[in-house]
Amino acid sequence: MSGGAIVRPSVAVPEEQVVRYTFPERVNHWVNGIAYTYLLATGLALFTPHMYWLAAVLGGGPTIRFWHPWMGLVFMISIFWMHLKWKDDMVTTGEDRTWQKHLKDYVENRDDKMPPQHRFNAGQKQFWWIMLYGSLILLATGIVMWFPEKMPPNLHWVLPIVVFIHSATALVTIAGFLVHVYMSVFVTPGSMKAMLDGNVSTDWARTHHRLWYEKITGRRK
């Protein structure tokens, strides 16, 4: 293969492309995204009568009440897998703090004004930590809500507090999820393609994640 393409072992990619996400990373990401979408829909149906019509679409109240916590476990497994895989890439760096000062430039797609970034930029890292810690809170409160009969009678007063914390945390993660989808689809073209086929162009990599591009290719500007 000519043209300076970057090829990782056992992975065939077109010329002038680099591997952004491996196949296991992409599969886990979509499992995570599908699980979260199901949790979002069923959670809203259980949260408010105004959204209960979603329960009818997804099989009825008893059905979503049964599957919601199980899907939550699938979501958590995928979260833990991603954390083990990406934890080193999610460490905050000096470049991230500089990136935060240029947030307006990022939102307005002024890429020429953005400082070089590693594999994930500061916004992606912030989203990740919100989802990770939010998921841990949802797991802890969700287990209590899953088996309320196990709660000692003298602690039943805690249940409404647990429900409130679970609901409030879910709303925070929903906001983060919506921003994540919007940024991936509309603000940074090419991000969705990367999560579908795993590859990005060398120009895309240099523009959005130059430090990561230079690290994996050994090419310095």
CATH assignment at residue 48: 1.20.950.20
Average pLDDT, the chain: 89
Is residue 9, in this structure, part of any structural domain at all?
Answer: no
Relative orientation angle of helices 122-146 and 61-86, to the nearest 10 degrees: 140
Range(s) of the domain holding residue 169: 20-217
Residue 8 included in any domain: no
Which pLDDT does position 2 carry in this prediction? 35
Note the pLDDT tens digit of each residue in 173-221.
999 999 999 988 888 888 999 999 999 999 999 988 999 999 998 876 5
Number of domains into which the chain is organized: 1
78 occurs within a structural domain: yes
Characterize 192-211 residue by residue with b for buried, 16 or more Cβ atoms within 10 angstroms of its Cβ, and e for exposed. Answer: eebbeebbbbbebbbbbbbe
How many angstroms separate the CA atoms of 143 and 185, rounded?
34
- Residue 213 maps to a domain: yes
pLDDT band at 6 (very low <50, low <70, confident <90, very high): very low
- Paired strand residues for 17: 201
Asked whether residue 98 is domain-assigned, the answer is yes
Q: For residue 1, tell me if it sits in a domain.
A: no
Reading the block at residue 7, the tokens are 């090829």
What's the predicted TM-score (pTM) here?
A: 0.85
Q: What would the two tokens of residue 206 be?
A: 């240099």
Per-residue pLDDT at 13 exceeds 60: no
pLDDT tens readout for residues 81-97: 999 999 999 999 988 89
Q: Does residue 12 lie within any of the structural domains?
A: no
CB neighbours of residue 92 within 10 Å: 12
Direct distance between the N- and C-terminal alpha carbons of the chain, in angstroms, rounded to an integer: 23
pLDDT tens digits, one per residue of 19-39: 999 999 999 999 999 999 999
7 falls within a domain: no
